Amino acid sequence: MSVGLPVEVHVDDCPETLTVEMIDVALGGARLRPLSNSGVTVNRRATFGFIVPGGGKCVAGGRVTRVQATGEFVVALDRANPAFREFLRSLSV
């Protein structure tokens, strides 16, 4: 589902937190667009989170499976907390 939501991402071996736009998301994965050159590479672990209205914190993570020439990258999710799953359910209504 297309969302266009800004999120903070921690990627293994990257010294700084990245701010990205989460442009597509599903329970199995997410496509993220960095706001600047990120240097993300395939097989790195990425974890991201964001706050939803009401104060819930959504957190999900997985492995980077693809990096496009544009800098966008895809994360195959293998972890997601209940708040993240509920956020996805709310998008499908």
Q: The CATH number of the domain where 17 resides is what?
A: 2.40.10.220
- Distance CA(65)–CA(44), nearest Å, equals 8
- Under 8 Å CB-to-CB from 67, ≥6 apart: which residues? 40, 41, 42, 73, 74
CB 50 within 8 A of CB 7: yes
pLDDT at residue 90, as a whole number: 86
Supply the mean pLDDT for the chain.
89
Domain count, the chain: 1
Maximum average pLDDT range among 26-30, 38-42, 87-91: 26-30
Enter the pTM of the model. 0.88
Domain hosting 13: range is 2-91
